[in-house]
Amino acid sequence: MKRTWQSIVYASCLAVLLGGCASGLKGPAFQPIPDAAADKAVVYLYWPDEGLRTAFNIEANEESITTMKNGGYFPYVVEPSELDLSAKVKFKMFASGFLEAVTAPHTRLSLTVQDGEVYYVRCTGLPPALLSLSLTNGQRLGMQVVSNEVGSRGIQACKLLAAK
């Protein structure tokens, strides 16, 4: 009887762990923006499903644009300019955000966007920083500009995320 009980507990834990790997996003599948204005650039930020559940606040030039979730994508239409993207784990210890700057590590990516161009920024979960004192276990989101060929393939299974 003890062996059966242990098997049930083990199977239940395994089901919970495996079930938690899917992103579970409900948005529509990837659709390119049709007829983006010729005087604007389109930056697709996407995070292929890696089985992680952490969400990250994404900012463009210090303005919050979306919350990046595993398995999601966000199309950002922008004027040609220097674009500074940052990703910070979505975490608040207190309602006031007290200690947020200390507890939430972030990553940055800068790129120059030109009118009429399309860019793909692939996001990936990074291992915690060595010696991280963060209450969020040092989880970070890496961001990398990839070619249009790589990006257009990698974004296909991603679901649309809401704008902030």
- What is the per-residue pLDDT across 39-70, written as a single tens digit (0 to 9) for each? 999 999 999 998 888 889 999 999 999 999 99
pLDDT of residue 29: 94
What whole-number distance in Å separates Cα of residue 70 and Cα of residue 86?
A: 16
- Please give the domain boundaries of the chain with CATH numbers for all domains: 24-160 (2.60.40)
pLDDT of residue 128: 61
Judged on CB neighbours under 10 Å (0-12, 13-18, 19+), 112 is exposed
Q: Could you tell me how far CA 22 lies from the centroid of its own chain?
A: 14
Reported pTM: 0.76
* Helices and strands (DSSP H and E) totals, the chain: 3, 9
Closest of 103, 96, 95 to residue 139, by C-alpha: 103
What whole-number distance in Å separates Cα of residue 44 and Cα of residue 35?
A: 15
Q: What is the mean pLDDT of residues 118-143?
A: 72
pLDDT of residue 131: 44
**110-127 pLDDT, tens digit each:** 999 999 999 999 999 876
**71-115 pLDDT, tens digit each:** 999 999 999 999 999 998 775 444 444 444 444 567 899 999 999
Higher pLDDT, 137 or 117: 117
Q: Answer whether residue 9 shows pLDDT above 60.
A: no
Closest of 60, 56, 62, 57 to residue 76, by C-alpha: 60
* Cα Dmax for the chain: 71
